[in-house]
Structure 1
């Protein structure tokens, strides 16, 4: 099942969508307003989120599945978004190239402890159809398409598509500038939905693709597989939550292996990221 938040004339609603139908879960139970509510109920009755949904479908009005996708907004409001770096070998190579400090990134790629860093607060996170930001003081900006792991009380409850916007020029100048390269207004996008673990099946065997268009012309179009990740989502979540109390609902981005070379984003570019079994996230680009 895929879970959406949609904006309607009746307010924000939680919708569960399978291959054939879209169910208005808020209409079935008024207390279910967002994905966090659903995860909370699942925890109370000791089942998974799809198990809760199965109990509600008989009472849930059906919605037009296509309109659900068109009306989708940020699928959940995570209290925090964290991210991992250098989880793919190509990412290690790219970071070495931009910084000229190969030993730092190779040590992370080969080490026991992954690179994990704070990425975004709710105010810095945007949903589908909204503008992702590039810094006005940066000369080299790229999107980073990533599988996002949705966690509720430190447990994995779903997956989403993430865009970890990055200033490669700022980070490349000095690795200690990483927070400025990664954390700023509109630095993160997630959506358009959250896919349940049962729907995703194996998160390390998913096709991931990204396209970038400018003035109707495709400037970048490439794909990869999450099978190239050297660390599992469970490992990344484990390190993120160690001695670190997270909000009730959070997202961990798992790193990227699609890094556009010799390319920088411009305002009004269009970025589309698609992950098999999860969804397709589309955003325009704005300068912040």
Structure 2
């Protein structure tokens, strides 16, 4: 199933979509307003999230499947990210940096690159503007599969955009936090898809387009099968000696990198599609 969070009359609601029918779970239980609420109950009951949702269907109102643009970002406590998990990502990081051997070493090493990405206040949802820094000259979107964790266990997947300043990171790898963590630097959505609905997370088609003034500036496609790390491996390294909050998203890296010379501009539109999850659309603004 896929779970969407919307807001009606100022009140958050959680919708579950099974095939072509959506159910308003908040109408069945007013305390259920986020995917985290379901995951918490499932954890206590020792069942999967979809079982909890199915048990609410009889009391839930059937509604039209939501438009992605009407959804908000999933409720999360933290967002982390992995880097250099695809060959093209490694090549792009080499191209931007004066110390390319660092990225090659990570690409080939046992330990992956894991870094903190965003607090909830820095995350935007579908239809909102992602940010590019006013002190950066080279800014790119990075479309990524997001692993949704509850108490460290994989409970779903979402679409993420790890917006980054390549000029700041390229100036010195020690500037990575400034290149990655700032206002509106991350978008998530439009839903959380549970593992049963996604199937193999290492075999999903991913596409991204960037449009400016009605003209396409970038178009690319790849598969998560091109990752050199597995989701299980990345989660394992994230949670080693590191207590993560109840609901955490781990972005798994990108292989769709616009060519050198391309940079995001205000009012651009970014569309990221991941098979069996959905489309995440955002505009761009300077922060």
TM range (shorter): over 0.9
| 8 Å CA contact 1:82, 1:118 repeated in 2 | yes
User: Which residue number corresponds to residue 34 of structure 2?
Assistant: 34
User: Which residue number corresponds to residue 7 of structure 2?
Assistant: 7
User: Which residue number corresponds to residue 146 of structure 1?
Assistant: 144
| 8 Å CA contact 1:22, 1:68 repeated in 2 | no
Q: Residues 104-149 of structure 1: CA distance to partner in whole angstroms, max 9, x if unpaired? A: 1111001000000000001101111111000000000000000000
User: Which residue number corresponds to residue 107 of structure 2?
Assistant: 109
Structure-2 change in CA distance of 1:283 and 1:29 (3 Å) = same
| 8 Å CA contact 2:123, 2:188 repeated in 1 | yes
User: Which residue number corresponds to residue 190 of structure 2?
Assistant: 192
Shift of 1:101: 2.1
Aligned to 2:103, the other structure's residue is in SS state helix
The runs of 4+ residues in structure 1 deviating greater than 6 Å are none
For residues 1-288 of structure 1, what are the structure 2 equivalents within 5 Å?
A: 1-9=1-9, 11-65=11-65, 67-74=66-73, 76-261=74-259, 262-288=261-287
Shift of 1:100: 3.2
Aligned to 2:56, the other structure's residue is in SS state helix
Q: Distance in 2 between matches of 1:10 and 1:267?
A: 28
Matched residue pairs, number? Answer: 286
Shift of 1:19: 1.8
Q: Distance in 1 between matches of 2:10 and 2:124?
A: 22
Q: Distance in 1 between matches of 2:44 and 2:207?
A: 37
| 8 Å CA contact 1:147, 1:255 repeated in 2 | yes
Shift of 1:55: 1.2
Q: Distance in 2 between matches of 1:73 and 1:283?
A: 12
Residue segments in structure 1 that go unaligned for 5+ positions in a row: none
Q: Distance in 1 between matches of 2:89 and 2:139?
A: 15
| 8 Å CA contact 1:133, 1:165 repeated in 2 | yes
Shift of 1:9: 2.1
Residue segments in structure 2 that go unaligned for 5+ positions in a row: none
| 8 Å CA contact 2:158, 2:277 repeated in 1 | yes
- Greater shift in the superposed pair: 2-11 or 145-154: 2-11
Structure 2 length as normaliser, TM-score? Answer: 0.98
